[in-house]
Amino acid sequence: MTLLADTGSTLLYLGIALIALYVALLLVALAYNVVRDARRRSDSILFAIFAFLLAFIPPFLGALIYLVIRPPRTLDEERAATLEQQILAEPATGAPETRPCPTCGRDIEEEFVICPYCRTQFARRCAVCERRLRLGWPVCPYCAAEVGAHALPPAHPRSAVPH
Ligand SMILES: [Zn+2]
Ligand SMILES: [Zn+2]
């Protein structure tokens, strides 16, 4: 009987030790992830240390607190957001080049291939390199792609070009 009891208690201690080891590993992994997350969200070393200490508040409460107080955006996201704002602010500073529409005379941007106001088409885009082509060109002069003859819009009835 004593042998059985010994085995039992040994197993019990072993079990407790394993659980303690498991919890310890879990805490270390948690702290590692919390610190890594903190480094991604802040340049401050102090914040990283604070997050590290917070991660060890039992039982996993610190990690939850960290999730609440951490900066909402990572530094990468912050950088992307700043860049996005700069790009959005761009058109205000440098207005796109415009020219008058040959049909209705309204200002249209240089890159347009069709007038958005009167629907006059005066150019098209190469399907391959996406550069502006004149309507009469059967081949793209930039990438040599065959773009085919273009049927001119009915608004401009010109004598049909024989092919
Ligand atoms: Zn127009
Ligand atoms: Zn092309």
- The ligand whose atoms approach the alpha carbon of 142 most closely is 2
- Residue 107, both tokens: 């200002």
**What is residue 46's three-state secondary structure?**
helix
CB 98 within 8 A of CB 107: yes
Does the pTM surpass 0.75? The reply is no
- The ligand whose atoms approach the alpha carbon of 130 most closely is 2
Residues 81-121 have pLDDT tens digits of 888 888 777 655 567 788 898 889 999 888 888 999 999 88
Task: Write down the pLDDT at residue 159.
Answer: 47
Residue 118, C-beta contacts closer than 8 angstroms, at least 6 positions apart: 101, 103, 104, 106
CA of 101 to the centre of ligand 1 (A): 5
Mean pLDDT of the region 112-136: 89
End-to-end Cα distance, the chain: 107
Residues 2-60 have pLDDT tens digits of 566 677 788 888 899 998 888 888 888 888 888 888 888 788 778 888 877 777 776 67
